Amino acid sequence: MSKIIDGKAVSAQVKERIKAETAALKEQGIEVGLAVVIVGEDPASKVYVRNKKRACEEVGFNSYEYALPEDTTEEQLLELVQKLNADDKVNGILVQLPLPKHLDDKVIINNILPEKDVDAFHPVNVGKIMIGDYSFLPCTPAGVMELIASTGTEIAGKECVVIGRSNIVGKPQAMLLLHRSGTVTICHSKTENLKEVCRRADILVAAVGRAKMITKDYIKEGAVVIDVGMNRDENGKLCGDVDFEDCKDKAGYITPVPGGVGPMTIAMLMQNTLTAAKVKNKKM
Ligand code: GUN
């Protein structure tokens, strides 16, 4: 029987620490602010944005929400981004993705000041991650690292397999594991012998976006299995990329969905926003 990694509990610890630091900054007259921008009516995005706002309240940040209509033009969105770039009360800017089809994510992200880019999506921050000079840690991969750390598992020298090569998760995840001296393999839709490669992993991170794709034949006995997936199963129930029921007796540690990686992503966003405020106010 594997141990279930409780993402809610780990994220609560992280948020408690952030809350204490935020309160200490407030005593010095420094407030922390996060601006969240959502364009259109995507239901999943609305839930994410609501959760981010709630997390801001929990840790004592000011949150500024901008809900723009679906037909917002690039010019209008860029105008808002520039306004937030110049606003001293705003330490972090998050533009919720995906944007409606007529808007280009890259153009928008490239216009967020790198020092306010708390998603770590701007090319300057992506480049810094590559060379291990972190200002902001990419939120989901950083959350995964915290969850691995919570198991006490040493990464150095271990076989780490990341399934998925997205810019948001797969690629930065591989970098973070590599910086901890893991032996890292990135798998994707063209990978041959996927099962065999995954079965080598001491640490397996699944970020594929396919419901319950990873069954016990993909995992090594005792492996740490981290599930980044957020899908709906055949009954419309929230589930991950890993078939939890099938894998839970074979893995050493495993994250559930929901309650695994999800809460960590938001905790790390709070961490990045606090970092942005500290850097701006020369507190680190
Ligand atoms: N959409 C899904 N995940 C994310 C995220 O981490 N950041 C942003 N900005 N949009 C997302």
**For 51, how many CA atoms within 13 A lie in the half-sphere containing its CB?**
14
The preferred substitution site among 47, 66, 168 for testing ligand 1, maximizing ligand atoms within 8 Å of CB, is 168
In the chain, the percentage of residues whose pLDDT exceeds 70 is 100
Residues 160, 201 contacting (CB under 8 angstroms): yes
Domain assignment present for 168: yes
Summary mean pLDDT of the chain: 97
**Are the C-beta atoms of residues 122 and 110 closer than 8 Å to each other?**
yes
Asked if 49 and 38 touch (Cβ cutoff 8 Å), the reply is yes
Helix (H) or strand (E) holding 22: helix 7-27
**pLDDT tens-place string over residues 205-258:** 999 999 999 999 999 999 999 999 999 999 999 999 999 999 999 999 999 999
According to the model, what pLDDT value does residue 284 have? 83
How many structural domains compose the chain?
2
Protein residue closest via CA to atom 9 of ligand 1:
96
Query: 95: Cβ below 6 Å to ligand 1?
Result: yes
Q: What is the mean pLDDT of residues 42-59?
A: 96
Domain span at 93? 30-113
Alpha helices in 88-169 (DSSP H): 105-110, 123-131, 139-150
Ligand 1 atom 1: the closest Cα is on which residue? 97
User: Residue 3 C-alpha to ligand 1 middle, in angstroms?
Assistant: 28
Give the up-direction half-sphere exposure of residue 61: CA atoms within 13 A in the CB hemisphere: 32
Q: How far is the CA of 131 from the centre of ligand 1 (A)?
A: 23
With a CB cutoff of 8 Å and minimum separation 6, the contacts of 211 are 229, 231, 232, 233, 234, 239, 240, 241
Q: What is the pLDDT of residue 175?
A: 98
Supply the pLDDT for residue 11: 98
3-state secondary structure 231-252: EECCCCCEECCECHHHHCCCCC
CA of 97 to the centre of ligand 1 (A): 5
213 & 253 share domain: yes
What pLDDT shows up at residue 160?
99
Q: What is the rounded average pLDDT of the residues 163-178?
A: 98
CA 94 to centroid of ligand 1, rounded, Å = 8
pLDDT above 80 (res 1): no
Per-residue pLDDT at 268: 98
User: Does 173 lie in the same domain as 102?
Assistant: no
pLDDT score recorded for residue 99: 98
Residue 132 within any structural domain of the chain: no
Tell me if 219 CB under 6 Å of ligand 1: no
Q: Is residue 172 part of a domain?
A: yes
Q: Give the closest residue (by CA) to ligand 1 atom 11.
A: 97
Say what the pLDDT of residue 203 is: 99
Q: Measured from the CB, is residue 94 less than 6 Å from ligand 1?
A: yes
Q: Strand pairing partners for 3?
A: 253
**Is the confidence at residue 2, as pLDDT, over 90?**
no
Q: How far apart are CA 178 and CA 172, in angstroms?
A: 10
pLDDT of 134 reads 87
Task: Indicate if ligand 1 lies below 6 Å from the C-beta of 139.
Answer: yes
Say yes or no: CB of residue 96 within 6 Å of ligand 1.
yes
Q: Residues with catalytic annotation? A: 52, 96, 119
**Residue at 99 is within a domain:** yes
pLDDT at residue 67 above 90?
Answer: yes
Q: 163 falls in which pLDDT band (50, 70, 90)?
A: very high
One domain, residues 255 and 146: yes
Question: Does residue 274 form part of some domain?
Answer: no
Question: In percent, how much of the chain has pLDDT > 90?
Answer: 98
Q: How far is the CA of 99 from the centre of ligand 1 (A)?
A: 10
* CA separation for the pair 274, 280 (Å, rounded): 10
Predicted confidence band at 135 (pLDDT cuts at 50, 70, 90)?
confident
Q: Which atom of ligand 1 is nearest to the CA of 45?
A: 1
Q: Which helix (H) or strand (E) holds 211?
A: none
Per the domain annotation, does 144 fall within a domain? yes
Q: How far is the CA of 203 from the centre of ligand 1 (A)?
A: 24
**CATH code, 161:** 3.40.50.720
Residue that finishes a domain, picked among 77, 98, 113: 113
pLDDT in tens, 73-121: 999 999 999 999 999 999 999 999 999 999 999 999 999 999 999 999 9
Over 90: is that where the pLDDT of 281 sits? Answer: yes
Residues 151, 95: one domain? no
Q: In this structure, is residue 24 part of a structural domain?
A: no
Ligand 1 pocket test, pick from 39, 52, 96 with the greatest ligand atom count within 8 Å of Cβ, gives: 96
Write down the pLDDT at residue 209.
95
Phi, psi of 231 (to 5 degrees): -130, 175
Is 19 a member of any domain? no
